[in-house]
Amino acid sequence: MAVENIPEWMYDESKTAGTDYNQTAEAAAYELRSRNQDRDAVNAFILDFLQLDKTKAVIDMGAGFGSFAMAAAEQAGRVIAVDISPAVIDLAKKLAQEKGLSNIEYHVAGFLTYEHEGPLVDAIVCSGALHHLPDFWKQIALNRMCAMLKTGGKLHLEDHVLSFEIDRYSEMLNDLIDRNKDNHDASGRNIMAVLMRDEFPTCDWIMEGMIERAGFTILNKKYGKTGFRGFYQCRK
């Protein structure tokens, strides 16, 4: 959406995009940290659900440095990587170029402003990004993603979702920070403290309600055993 067309009531998603990702050094630091994770296994799990082939198109919303988009590019015909951070998209382009991948389209845009062009897509992946929006705007984002998908299309959504007993929040959050005491951003701040204080992880029952209200059926759901992560495989 062109800046001059953004209504004055619109949430400014660039303001809460995560301080980690809007600068080149921070984007690179995020990519380095994520090398400790088994990204290949996660991508294989998502791809197994999506069953892409060269006739299919997929959008990665909040794509980051493009770990999933690059894995999807090996299977799908059209891959669209959308992220609000120009620094992250620059890094994603560079990494894809190094791998010789040429079928990924990159868009610097957000959940609320990305305008999809061309046929509706077969699948959308959204991993670790929706918590950057407050709940009302998450609902708008989910509705918009549903509108970009073909009927029968699939959504893999994964994010910081709170499924623990809320009365135990103090103990649970202290434990979370403790478990992540060595997990800092480039400014030295505990990543999970920043997440809980400045970002918008939501409760499991709210997330499920929002997904269904957007027009999806939840086929599978799973919550992390520590109560801070939710995974949803859905169909439009």
**202 interacts with ligand SAM by CB under 6 A:** no
**231 interacts with ligand SAM by CB under 6 A:** no
Nearest CA to 157 out of 46, 20, 34 is that of 46
**84 interacts with ligand SAM by CB under 6 A:** yes
**160 interacts with ligand SAM by CB under 6 A:** no
**85 interacts with ligand SAM by CB under 6 A:** yes
**HEC readout, 57-119:** EEEEECCCCCHHHHHHHCCCCEEEEEECCHHHHHHHHHHHHHCCCCCEEEEECCCCCCCCCCC
Residue 183 tokens read as 């997990």
Provide, rounded to whole angstroms, the least separation between the CB of residue 7 and ligand SAM: 16
Contact between residue 126 and residue 156 where contact means Cβ atoms under 8 Å apart: yes
Provide, rounded to whole angstroms, the least separation between the CB of residue 83 and ligand SAM: 5
d(Cα 228, Cα 215) in Å, to the nearest integer? 24
Residues 168-187: x/- map of binding to ligand SAM (CB under 6 A)? --------------------
Please select the residue that binds ligand SAM; options are 56, 78, 116, 132, rule is CB under 6 A: 132
Binding residues vs ligand SAM (CB under 6 A): 13, 17-18, 21, 34, 62-64, 67, 83-85, 88, 110-111, 127-129, 132-133
